[in-house]
Chain A
Amino acid sequence: MNAVELPPPVETEEVNYLTCECGVKQWLLTTDHKRIGILFLYTILVFFTLAAVAAALMRIELLTPKGDLLLSADYNKLFTMHGVLMVWFFLIPSIPSVLGNFLVPLMIGARDLAFPKLNLLSWYLFVIGGALAMDAIIRGGVDTGWTFYAPYSTTYSNSHVIEMAAGIFVAGFGSILTGLNFIITIHKMRAPGLTWFRLPLFIWSMYSTSLILVLATPVLAMTLALMAIERIWGVGIFNPALGGDPVLFQHLFWFYSHPAVYIMILPGMGVASEVIPCFSRKAIFGYEFVAFSSVAIAVLGFLVWGHHMFVSGMSPYAGTVFSLMSFLVAVPSAIKVFNWTMTLHRGSISFSTPMLYVLGFIGLFTIGGLTGVFLACLAADVHLHDTYFVIAHFHYIMVGGMVTTFMAGLHYWWPKIVGRMYPEKLGQLSAVILFVGFNLTFFPMFILGGLGMPRRYHAYPPEFQIYHVLSTAGASILGIGYLLPVIYLLWSLKFGKKAPPNPWGATGLEWKTPSPPPKHNFHRTPIVHEPAYNFPPLDAS
């Protein structure tokens, strides 16, 4: 049975969104969501590269216990740059602004997002914000850490804090506009017949992510603005010498930043929920539960911010409440993991590159999430707070989880985006390299943290060295795991096999239109008659 009433896609060379009007100006002023997605892809890759170089320098410094390669001041600037760029200029826009932009209208059968001009504005805001941040870095850098804790950031640091905050502020408004666009588009522009419970789960995850983007980012923006104003004029809202409260800054910062960590995982979960059914040829197990758990994560995520502040001097009773909420927020994630596993049952599983990445994701995310539960556990966090255990926890989720699914998604939709196949064997190889390198880099950090190695240290007691050496070795492998795909994906642009409209035999509207899609996505508005992931039933053989 065919899902939509469409003429069979024509196999001739037709004009698509890449080949029509391709001057520089047409690209820079485009309002086509697909092109904007590609603009984002290029931009975030630049920031990722810069942040990864910072990571490489940090890892090399940490090879020896003495701080011999870099001055402590430079090391501090490096991890700040690494954290800021990775979080705000790479990971937050990664899946939403690149794949989300490209896919949301395609998946719901729309011709574009609701507000294409705002969408372009998002990209410009992002670029301006990024330029400000880069300028701050070039002119000498910032040394506050990505968390900007007052009063260090407001009074004591001598670095370019204000400009960096301005960069994040501007880029933040870009994120808000993206989130707003997605919510409206998903609400109002679904194709006929595409009811909420027929939506691909990727859309559900984008919807939840957008809610957080829209509701949390303004809090960050104002908090950073207050921080900058305080730095310029000595306001005193956060400065204890003037009657202010430095812990208030932490409350405001984490009120944004904890929900923001879910911005950095929900989209990845969405990708996993697309890839697993496709490569098991089977509908996802418990669709409604997976869908609603995304929303539950988004909502509960707003109530747990205090778990970053268990030893900040906050009331211990508030601590117990935040701990409880943090345990609860683990439940919807648990639901997802179990449903993904159950989807494999009686499937027909193929180990194509996207699937390999996603399987790696499930493993790494589970470990990262379980160690999050360690940290949510009050007495355990008192010991583990601000040690490498925390570093390991969030790299497992953000790199092992989100970056891995970003790679999965990039491979999965690559044929759709560029119209060419990537080399499968190399893809599988790099997925394996990434997995191995990742674990070697970050697993030793759990032990380091347990031993009490504090984070943001560029020199450390010699007994910790062995673990740092392992970690740096792992980072070199990991580096190869990132480099390889860059090379072969670029190669495939020219030499890859031409991609058919639906190379994976997947369901979903994006596969019902040519690869790459035409300018307005569909030749005729599709009409949907069936639930998501409606694969033909498998039989006994």
Chain B
Amino acid sequence: MSIPVLPDSASTLAPKTDLILLALTALSVVVMAIVFLPMIYFLFKYRRGRPADRTPLDLPTMKIEVTWTVIPLVLMMGLYAWASEVYLEEETPPLGAIEINVVGKQWMWKIEHAEGNAEINELHVPVGKPVKLTLASQDVIHSFFIPAFRIKQDVVPGRYTSEWFQPTKPGTYHLFCSQYCGNNHSQMIGSVVVMEPAAYERWLAESSPGQTLAQQGASLFRELGCSGCHMGNSVVHAPRFEGLYGKPVALQTGQVVIADDAYLRDCILTPAARVPGGYSPLMPSFQGRVNEGEIFQLIAYIKSLASAPVEGSPP
């Protein structure tokens, strides 16, 4: 049995985090030395019964106090700035990352790749490419934690959160749910499989369901009746989705919002709260009729229309 002392380090963020942890440890050791060595020395030298010079000294209290207030403060501010910078980097996914959707529910992880592949409690990714996860929860708060990548993000019901990583080493790593979520919280675990790009392509092809996520969304779009209003020549005056994704939308209230994943999700679940300008609030809420995984599929479909020509305007 091998005894681990440090976790695997398998993403671009891992060494950066480790360096901070190392610096913190070094600082702690120095502080402990500063506190404990004199303390032990005093305890020995001035223990009762041992002869020593104990006449009180007239020390410049103020100077001493200021010194030991300011020095730790300065040291800590350095660490603060450094760690905050790394954190902000962690919070900002790079452009062009592979986008993968994750749905957490009691007590499993469901993962949807854009190519249409779906997996449970396993996440396959290629080495060397940035990956952005969009996280949604079907019920309570979970947290998507991959120790080898040093990343963690709560998965909060009612909204999307995201995290990203860029694996650097092929292998299989732990995936934990780290936010307590009920009975089988400790079983909500899985593995992240980092593969060479070629192997990854092979895996995608082999486990492919034959339809991309957007295509799955398209069929849902028909099954749920969205197409009845949003497509062709419907009687209802409802917006078209060609060229919508990523563009600003002016709402009836005068507010302008960007049509991103979160916006589309809200439109499907609580349409009345955000009516685009020029439309009347006719759309029914689909709350309870679609689950988070299906919403991801619908969004993927609407996204896929982003580059389609806007109807009525020249291509």
Interface string of A294-316 (1 = CB under 8 A from B): 00000000000000001111001
Question: In the complex, which residue of chain B has the Cβ closest to the Cβ of A457?
Answer: B186
Q: B73, A341: Cβ atoms under 8 Å?
A: no
Residue of B nearest to A243 (CB): B270
Are A323 and B54 in contact (CB-based, < 8 A)?
A: no
Which listed residue, B46, B83, B184, touches A379 by the CB 8 Å rule? B83
Residues on A with C-beta less than 8 A from B279 are: none
Q: How large is the interface on B (under 10, 10 to 19, 20 to 34, 35 or more residues)?
A: 35 or more
Interface membership of A454, Cβ < 8 A: yes
B24 touches A382 (CB 8 A): no
Return the contact of B152 from the options A247, A385, A447, A540 (Cβ within 8 A): A385
B143 and A386 within 8 A (CB): yes
B53 touches A241 (CB 8 A): no
Residues from chain A with Cβ under 8 Å of B65 in the complex: 286, 289, 335, 339
Is A9's beta carbon under 8 Å from chain B?
no
Q: Does A502 contact B (CB under 8 A)?
A: no
Query: Inside 8 A of B139's CB, which chain A residues have their CB?
Result: 151, 156
Check if B77 sits within 8 Å of A327, measured CB to CB.
yes
* A363 touches B (CB below 8 Å): yes
Q: In angstroms, how far is the closest chain B Cβ from the Cβ of A388? A: 11
Bound together, the chains give a CA A172 to CA B187 distance in angstroms of 35
Chain B binder among A44-52, A342-350, A472-480, A491-499: A342-350
Kindly identify which residue among A349, A382, A458, A539 contacts B42, using a CB–CB cutoff of 8 Å: A349
In the complex, chain A residues 476-529 whose Cβ is within 8 Å of any chain B Cβ: none
- Does any Cβ of B come within 8 Å of A115's Cβ? no
> Across the two chains, which residue of chain B brings its CB closest to A386?
B178
Partner pick for B47 among A349, A377, A463, CB 8 A cutoff:
A349
Q: Is B203 an interface residue (CB 8 A)?
A: no
For residue B310, CB closer than 8 A to chain A, the reply is no
Indicate if B253 sits at the interface (CB-CB under 8 A): no
Contacts of A320 in B (CB 8 A): 84, 87-88
Judge whether A383 and B147 touch: CB under 8 Å.
yes
Determine whether the beta carbon of B64 is less than 8 Å from that of A342. Answer: yes
Residue of B nearest to A389 (CB): B21
Asked whether A104 is an interface residue with its Cβ less than 8 Å from the other chain, the reply is no
Inter-chain contacts of B179 with A (CB < 8 A): 149, 386
In-complex Cβ contact of A151 among B84, B140, B148 (8 A): B140
B206 CB to closest chain A CB, in angstroms? 28
| Given A240-B159, A370-B28, A540-B53: A362 and B21 interface contact (C-beta under 8 Å) | no
A26 within 8 A of B: no
Is B289 located at the chain interface by the 8 A CB criterion? no
Which residues of chain A in 240-283 are interfacial with respect to chain B, using CB atoms and an 8 Å cutoff?
Answer: 240-241, 243-247, 280, 282
Which residues in B have their C-beta under 8 angstroms from that of A337? 35
B43 CB-CB contact with A under 8 Å: yes
Interface string of A392-410 (1 = CB under 8 A from B): 0000000000000000000
Residue A324 CB within 8 A of the other chain: yes
Complex CA distance for A323 and B81, rounded to whole angstroms: 10
The reply to whether B84 and A452 form a contact with Cβ atoms under 8 Å apart is no
Number of interface residues of A (CB under 8 A): 91
> Known contacts A156-B106, A331-B73, A460-B186; is A382 also within 8 Å of B151 by CB?
yes
Instruction: Tell whether, in the assembled complex, residue A341 and residue B174 are in contact, meaning their CB atoms are under 8 Å apart.
Output: no
Residues of A within 8 A of B4 (CB): 451, 463
Within 8 A of B (CB), among A337-381: 337-339, 341-342, 344-351, 359, 362-363, 366-367, 370-371, 373-374, 377-380
Q: Kindly state whether residue B99 has any CB partner on chain A within 8 Å.
A: no
Q: Is B1 an interface residue (CB 8 A)?
A: yes
- In the bound complex, residues from chain A placing their C-beta under 8 Å from that of B284 are none
Residues of chain B with a CB closer than 8 A to A379's CB: 16-17, 20, 83-84, 86-87, 90, 150
Could you tell me if A338 and B68 are in contact, using CB atoms closer than 8 angstroms?
A: yes
B254 interface contact, C-beta 8 A: no
* Cβ contact within 8 Å between A152 and B17: no
Which one of B2, B31, B51, B143 contacts A311 once the chains associate, using CB atoms below 8 Å? B143
Whether A312 contacts B72 by the Cβ 8 Å rule is no
A181 adjacent to chain B (CB < 8 Å): no
Beyond A246-B141, A327-B76, A378-B86, whether A313 also contacts B186 by CB under 8 A is: no
In the complex, the answer to whether B186 meets A466 with C-beta atoms within 8 Å is no
Residue B198, interface by CB 8 Å? no
Q: Is A334 close to B, CB under 8 A?
A: yes
**Contacts A335-B65, A380-B20 given: A370-B55 contact, CB under 8 Å?**
no
Q: What residues of A have a CB within 8 angstroms of the CB of B275 in the complex?
A: none
B35 and A380 within 8 A (CB): no
From B46, B68, B156, B181, A335 is in contact (CB under 8 Å) with B68
Assess whether B176 is in contact with A152, with CB atoms less than 8 Å apart: no
Chain A residue contacts of B95, Cβ below 8 A: none
Q: Is the CB of A452 within 8 A of B176?
A: yes
Asked if A41 CB lies within 8 Å of chain B CBs, one says: no
User: Is there a chain B Cβ closer than 8 Å to A426's Cβ?
Assistant: no
Complex Cα gap A331–B76 (Å): 10
Q: Does A436 contact B (CB under 8 A)?
A: no
B157, A241: Cβ atoms closer than 8 Å: yes
Please state if B152 and A382 are interface contacts (CB–CB under 8 Å). Answer: yes
Which of B72, B77, B187, B287 counts the most A-chain CB atoms under 10 A from its CB?
Answer: B72
Q: Assess A240 versus B90: contact at CB under 8 Å? Given A348-B54, A459-B186.
A: no
Nearest CB to that of B151 among chain A residues?
A382
Task: Give the distance in Å from the alpha carbon of A387 to the alpha carbon of B178 in the complex.
Answer: 7
B92's nearest neighbour on chain A, judged by CB, is A316
**Is B7 in the interface zone, CB < 8 Å from A?**
yes
Cα–Cα, bound, A399→B55 (Å)? 37
The proximity string for B residues 285-304 relative to A, scoring 1 for CB distances below 8 Å and 0 otherwise, is 00100000000000000000
B235: Cβ under 8 A from any A Cβ: no
- The answer on a CB contact under 8 Å between A152 and B68 is no
Write out the residue numbers on chain B whose beta carbons fall within 8 Å of the beta carbon of A335: 65, 68-69
Q: Is B153 at the interface (CB under 8 A from chain A)? A: yes
Which residues of B have CB within 8 Å of A116? none
Q: Check if A538 sits within 8 Å of B54, measured CB to CB.
A: yes
Which 5 A-B residue pairings sit nearest by Cβ, starting from the closest? A240-B158, A452-B147, A378-B87, A538-B54, A379-B86
Offer 24 A-B interface pairs, CB within 8 angstroms, sorted by A.
Answer: A149-B180, A152-B181, A240-B159, A241-B157, A311-B152, A312-B154, A313-B156, A319-B87, A320-B87, A327-B77, A331-B69, A338-B68, A342-B64, A346-B52, A370-B28, A374-B24, A379-B16, A383-B152, A386-B178, A447-B5, A450-B7, A457-B186, A459-B187, A539-B55
Binding site for A on B (CB under 8 A): 1-7, 16-17, 20-21, 24, 27-28, 31-32, 35-36, 38-39, 42-43, 46-48, 51-57, 61, 64-65, 68-69, 72-73, 76-77, 79-80, 83-84, 86-88, 90-91, 106, 139-141, 143, 145, 147-148, 150-154, 156-159, 161, 174, 176-187, 270, 287
Other contacts beyond A143-B183, A378-B87: 15, CB < 8 A: A155-B140, A350-B47, A350-B48, A366-B32, A370-B27, A374-B28, A377-B79, A379-B84, A379-B90, A383-B151, A387-B178, A452-B145, A455-B180, A459-B186, A466-B3
A residues contacting B by CB (< 8 A) are 67, 72-73, 76, 143-145, 147, 149, 151-152, 155-157, 240-241, 243-247, 280, 282, 285-286, 289, 310-313, 316, 319-320, 323-324, 327-328, 330-331, 334-335, 337-339, 341-342, 344-351, 359, 362-363, 366-367, 370-371, 373-374, 377-380, 382-383, 385-387, 447, 450-452, 454-461, 463, 466, 537-541
